[in-house]
Amino acid sequence: MSGVRPAILQAARQLAYERGWKAVTVRAVAARAEVAVGTLRHHFPTQAELHETLARALVDDWRLDVSAIEPDAPAEEALLAFVRAIVPLKETDRAALVAWLVRHASALGPAEDVWNQTTLGREYGDVRTDLRIVLGWFKRAGRLRTDLSIDDVSTFVLALAVGLRLLLLADDVGVNDDTVDRIVLHAARQVVLT
């Protein structure tokens, strides 16, 4: 029984990525997870609880364990690790890139999905918070340019990551995983002091 809850949550995650939050209903998730509705209700008594648990899981999908980055690690490597945590590898995780785009289209497209907009906002906010922690280490150690604020650099790095995700989806632009690493390292050298 221990694997049932994660399987239900994974089914909900897939539906949210593929078709948006409105598709994450108790019946649809139960069908995708191949469990009875009663079994789903045992683990998630209400649809609201299922949605809230899913929202937390989606935020966690994006978050980097900042404790995995050493405060005295080279700044370029730390920023590369950060971006790599939120930019899936094209060669191995194209499905995650496509799901990310579909989710944004669902949240922001013609049939706006308010719940999805809210969770995306929360995800981006949490990622920026994580990034600000790492940048704060650099600033206190004198390794961040003094003419740049932590907020500006965190926005820059997040925008770079989002843009790279989009470019990785376009096969004809010549952007691959190695290109991403080179671009991120170049960008990092513009904001950190070595």
State residue 59's pLDDT score: 64
Q: 3-class SS at 147?
A: coil
Residue 105: is its pLDDT beyond 90? Answer: no
| Helices 4-19 and 26-33, packing angle to 10 deg | 120
Question: What are residue 192's DSSP bridge partners?
Answer: 144
Residue 85: is its pLDDT beyond 80? Answer: no
DSSP code, position 67 = G
Q: Which residue has the tokens 């907020």?
A: 151
Binned at pLDDT 50, 70 and 90, residue 92 comes out as low
Residues 10-20, mean pLDDT to the nearest whole number = 84
Considering only CA atoms, give the Rg of the chain.
19
- Asked if 142 and 55 count as a contact pair (C-beta separation under 8 A), the reply is no
Residues 94-108, mean pLDDT to the nearest whole number = 76
Residues 112-120, mean pLDDT to the nearest whole number = 79
The DSSP H or E segment spanning 74 is: none
| Helices 4-19 and 47-62, packing angle to 10 deg | 80
State residue 63's pLDDT score: 62
State residue 38's pLDDT score: 96
Q: Which residue has the tokens 């289209």?
A: 105
- Is the pTM higher than 0.85? no
Residue 95: is its pLDDT beyond 80? Answer: no
pLDDT above 70: percentage of residues in the chain:
91
State residue 27's pLDDT score: 97
Q: 3-class SS at 42?
A: helix
State residue 5's pLDDT score: 95
State residue 153's pLDDT score: 92
Give 20 or 33, the one with higher predicted confidence: 33
Distance of CA 156 to the CA centre of its chain: 16
Torsion of CA 29, 32, 34, 38, to 10 degrees: 10
